[in-house]
Amino acid sequence: MNKAIFFKEWIKTRWYLLAALVVFVSYTLYLVLRVGNAIEFKGAAHLWAVLLTRDAVFIEPVQYLPMVFGLLLGVVQFVPEVVQKRLKLTLHLPYPQPGMVLMMMLYGLGALTVLSLAQLVAFWGFLQHYMAAELTAHILLTALPWYAAGYAAYLLTYAVCVEPSWRMRSLLILMGIGLLRVHFLLDVPQSYNSFIGSLFVFDLAALLLVLRSMVRFKEGCQD
């Protein structure tokens, strides 16, 4: 049954995932080439100096990518479920209802994790070749809140989709904008180090909003 659940999510998302893969790979290649070019023309030492003396980490262009990916993944996965209330079919299947909601979520979180991790590993693999571990960590730690925003965006989109009432949906959208903003407050490298753990837990806990909206969907809440 779990395989079938993933099968359906795959049918919904495969073209989107393919497109996202292309975008992620292009972004990664672009940034790797950009850094590679800088090393070629100005030398690795110059990059070290920039990292050590300025608030720059070279991979800033990637910062909104996971968030946009998570948001669109939520749309691609759950808009087909709520259009014409198909979720009623899904929740009617002989499978525990919260389990069904969580399995669909697991698929999305899995896709997010695979792409995010792959990109981070690619950056790491490239950078560690030219830079000391401290600098690689400096860059990747700075990027962590951007990837956490991907999870928040995905779960909040899920909750917004499943939520049956427009009033609550609008509030969830406003809340989502606020929560996502928290991931992009400061352009100072490593500024989230002490907070990223709890922020990530808080992002993942947004799944409670999804389950709540699922229950509200079941009760047929109208406002």
Partner 1 sequence: MKLFGKIYFYAAAVVLLAWLLPWLYALCTAEPKSTPFTLYSCVVDDFASLTVDDDGRIIYFDRKGHHYNDAQFDSILPMFYYRQLLSEGRMPDTLRGVAIDADKIQHNNFNVRLSPLDINKTLPKLYMMLESMPKRVDLEEPVEAFRSTAEGLEFIDMESNTLNAARSREFTDVMKRKGFVFPIGRIHGNPTTMKGYDEGYVMTDSHGALFHVKQISGKPYVRAVSLPDSVKVEQLMITEFPNRRTLAYIFTADNRLAILDADYNVHKTGVSFNPYRQSLTIVGDMFHYTVKVADEKEEHYYALDASTYATVDQMVNRYADDSASWSEYVFPFKVAFTSYNDGWVYPRVSDFSAKALPLGLLLAALLFFLDRRQGKKKYLETLFVLLLGIYIFIPLVLIKKRN
Partner 2 sequence: MTDKVIECKNLTHYYGKRKIYEDLSFDVPKGRILGLLGKNGTGKTTTINILMGYLKPRAGQCEIFGEDIQHISPATRARIALLLEGHIQYAFMTIEKIEKYYSAFYPKWNRDAYYELMNKLKVAPHQKIANMSCGQRSQVALGLILAQNADLLVLDDFSLGLDPGYRRLFIEYLHEYAKAETKTIFLTSHIIQDMERLVDDCIIMDYGRILVQQPVAQLMSTFRRYTYRVEGEQPALSSDKIYHPSVIRDCAELYSFENRGYVERLLQEAGIGYSDLREETMNLEDIFIGLTGKY
By CB under 8 A, name the binding residues for partner 2: 1, 3-4, 7-8, 11-12, 80, 84-86, 88-89, 91-96, 217-220, 222
Minimum CB separation of residue 13 from partner 2 in Å reads: 10
Name which of 17 and 206 has its Cβ closer to partner 1. 206
Name which of 48 and 95 has its Cβ closer to partner 2. 95
H/E stretch holding 96? none
Name which of 95 and 202 has its Cβ closer to partner 2. 95
The 202-221 site mask, x for binding partner 1 (CB under 8 A), equals x--xx-xx-xxx-xx-----
When binding is defined by CB under 8 A, the residue of 14, 46, 85, 88 that contacts partner 1 is: 46
Does residue 175 belong to the site contacting partner 1 (CB under 8 A)?
yes
Question: Which entry of partner 2, partner 1, none binds 80, CB below 5 to 8 A by partner kind?
Answer: partner 2
Q: Give 102: exposed, middle or buried? Use CB within 10 Å, 0-12, 13-18, 19+.
A: middle
Range 7-12 contact pairs with CB under 8 angstroms and sequence separation of 24 or more: 9/77, 9/104, 9/107, 9/108, 10/107, 12/76, 12/77, 12/80
Does residue 51 belong to the site contacting partner 1 (CB under 8 A)?
yes
**Among 139, 107, 106, CA closest to 120:** 139
Residue 120 neighbours by CB distance under 10 Å: 19
Buried b (16+ CB within 10 A) or exposed e, 61-84: ebbbbbbebbbbbbbbbbebbbee
Minimum CB separation of residue 7 from partner 1 in Å reads: 26
Residue 20 per-residue DSSP state: H
10/13 Cα distance (integer angstroms): 5
Name which of 6 and 124 has its Cβ closer to partner 1. 124
Q: Which two tokens stand for residue 131?
A: 């830079």
Minimum CB separation of residue 79 from partner 1 in Å reads: 21
Minimum CB separation of residue 208 from partner 1 in Å reads: 4
Phi-psi region of 85 (alpha: psi -120 to 50; beta: other; left: phi over 0): left
Q: Which 8-37 positions form the footprint of partner 1 (CB under 8 A)?
A: none
**Among 48, 54, 61, 64, CA closest to 188:** 54
Residues near partner 1 (CB under 8 A) are: 43-46, 48-49, 51-53, 98, 129-132, 134-135, 137-138, 145, 167-168, 171, 175, 178-179, 182, 185-186, 188-195, 202, 205-206, 208-209, 211-213, 215-216, 223
